[in-house]
Structure 1
Amino acid sequence: MRLRTQAVGLAAASVAMIATLAACGTSSAADTPGSSSQKGTFAADSGTIVVGNLPDETSGESGYQPVADYLAKQTGLKVKFFPTTSYPSLIAAAVAGKVDVFTAGALEYETVKNKGGKFTPVSLQMSPGATQPGYYSEAWVPKNSPITSVSQFKGKKVCFVDPTSTSGFLFGLNMLNEAGISVKQDGQDASGNPKFDDFTAVFAGSHPKSAQAVAAGQCDVGFADDIDTKDYVSGLKSIKKEFVPGVPWEVSDTLPAGVKAKVTKALQTANPDTMKAAGVTITKAYSASNAGVVPFKPSYYTTIDNLCKNIPAANCAPS
């Protein structure tokens, strides 16, 4: 399940949340009878695995429920959600150690790591029909537009998803940069969103809305992922696309070694057939955007590493 951004301009809120969450503390496995042989800390308590997630725009937590149920069966522990409303708040929760497991976008993998979060990515989520874990960020224009290349986006009104979206903003900037268009920021607009010299950025708020705005002529061109766009919008044509690495599941390094091993194994085997065999109900919300997982490979994220180096707006650096 690819995660979607739902709010903009939340950097300050993210910092505040980190401070608040850090003050709450964690529970040690050694504090619980019978667990002293495995030292480590849990986000809540030694009987619970806390999963951090950004609720899907339409289905809330339900899309993640089968994986949570499978995790509970495989570990023998209670599993509960720590739902958040934005990428910054999810990153804040992970960095503050308030979740034992979390799933987020490709960029959040880099950001949590660079901000000192103690997590190990263990698997990548697969989309239905995909042959590799990931999806595409695409450059869209109206079907009858004379624009045929991203280099023609200079001076245009460009729709993006939101400043924290990997496929709906940062990969768009990367395509613009590769086409020779400056992506250097020129301050902020009245809403606190970044401004640019070579084009006018419009933040639509979601992938479908970005595509719809292009189709309606509210933007000359725009960026959005391939799946959400084809599901909701007609009247567009794609003129370029770049592959975005899949969404990782990450496990806290502070968990007791034995617990971490069980959680890791569960998240590396959380495929529909395996989950069904364990007695887990596969929901429609899960099946709609998830076909299971494959083991994580660091080399798979080379494109994200390059994005962090070449696109300042990615803001992957430690803060």
Structure 2
Amino acid sequence: MHLSRSKRIGIVGSVLTLAVVALTGCSGSSTAATGDGPAAGSSSSGSWAKSQGTIVFGAVPDQAGSDANNKPLEDYIAKETGYKVEYYPTADYTALIAASVAGKVDVMSSGGLQYVQATNKGAALMPVAATLSSPDVEDPGYYSVAITKAGSSITSLKQAKGKTVCFVDPNSTSGFLFGLYQLSKAGVDVSTSGTDASGNPKFTAFTAYFAGAHDKSEQAVASGQCDLGFAEDSVAEPAVKKGDITALGKQYVPGGPLSISTKLPKDVQTKLAKVLSGASPDAIKKAGITLTDGFTQGYFGVRAEDASYYKSIRDLCSTIPSADCAK
């Protein structure tokens, strides 16, 4: 789970039932159609990322202490399934995607774009839940917020031409893909003319700056390093209230998925789907797992979802070539 967005869980019984049914073999054709890996067969025909009986958990390391902050969920998975759970350390979005494609993780917590990118590159993953953005919501979606420095003369995204625009990372869902979408809707050309020395896209209409994290993108805009930019609502809205930045608009983003490897034995997939889709903070606590501050500050629950929930992201990847979702 990544702290910025991938740590939120609530229980929706009927949807959970559908998710578990899908794992038992009713959605094979739909899985293939969305680019997800094929459903695994019997226990004997499945495979594990590391070794039988060990679940390898990978997550986007958005903040320091990512392993420790994920520990309560890891411990819950271990207790409810009876399997050993190990954390797979990754340095950034790219490393997590590469690990999933290489089959090195059994469970992945990520943003929607990383999931789509991973499956586009052949990762055998199937989402079973989407994370919630706060403790008082049932919809796992959140918002990509377009921002500028408080008092800036920029009042519309149409003014982005010729300016410096802050993004989070080329693999960020709300901090890049949905930022490009908002610019495109405003009539700004989001086509590219190659890449820079770091391999990041160079845009023809504006200069892109990749801050590396949502809070850093907000800070770069607030300090004037960028003329405008994008950050997820959990970071942008408090800064707007403080008067550091001004919001120019926002766009709904599907909540980040908890995905499982479809290379795992089928019975293991079913068990993991049930556990992950029901892993509310209350359920984790009732299981005797200690909820740490780092965990509770970002993890609010999930709602059971499947691959169809991320269709809007796949559609954007098709209509915005500069997002390069297959990289």
Q: Does TM, scored on the shorter chain, surpass 0.5?
A: yes
Query: 292, 304, 319: which is aligned to 2:313?
Result: 304
Q: Is the 8 A contact 2:279 2:302 kept in 1?
A: yes
d(CA) in 1 for partners of 2:102, 2:195 = 29
Residue segments in structure 1 that go unaligned for 5+ positions in a row: 5-35
User: Where do 1:134-173 residues align within 5 Å?
Assistant: 134-173=141-180
Q: Is the 8 A contact 2:145 2:236 kept in 1?
A: no
**CA offsets, 1:217-250, max 9 Å, x none?**
2221111112123456741110110111111111
Q: Which has the higher contact order (CA 8 A, sep 6+)?
A: 2
- 1:39 and 2:48 aligned: no
SS in 2 for 1:266: helix
- 1:200 and 2:207 aligned: yes
Query: 290, 308, 324: which is aligned to 1:315?
Result: 324
Q: Is the 8 A contact 1:170 1:313 kept in 2?
A: no
Query: 129, 140, 145: which is aligned to 1:123?
Result: 129
Q: Is the 8 A contact 2:2 2:109 kept in 1?
A: no
- 1:280 and 2:316 aligned: no
User: Where do 1:54-73 residues align within 5 Å?
Assistant: 54-73=60-79
Q: Which residue of 2 aligns with 1:183?
A: 190
d(CA) in 2 for partners of 1:257, 1:299 = 20
**CA offsets, 1:114-152, max 9 Å, x none?**
222112110111122434112211110122123222112
SS in 1 for 2:273: helix
SS in 2 for 1:98: coil
TM-score (structure 2 length as normaliser)? 0.82
Q: Is the 8 A contact 1:125 1:293 kept in 2?
A: yes
**CA offsets, 1:6-51, max 9 Å, x none?**
xxxxxxxxxxxxxxxxxxxxxxxxxxxxxx9643211111121111
Query: 251, 258, 267: which is aligned to 2:267?
Result: 258
Query: 112, 119, 139: which is aligned to 1:113?
Result: 119
Residue segments in structure 2 that go unaligned for 5+ positions in a row: 5-41
Moved over 6 A (4+): none
d(CA) in 1 for partners of 2:197, 2:49 = 38
d(CA) in 2 for partners of 1:245, 1:309 = 17
Aligned-partner residue type, residue 112 of structure 1: A
TM-score (structure 1 length as normaliser)? 0.84
SS in 1 for 2:45: coil
Query: 195, 215, 221: which is aligned to 1:214?
Result: 221
The aligned length equals 288
Q: Which residue of 1 aligns with 2:93?
A: 87
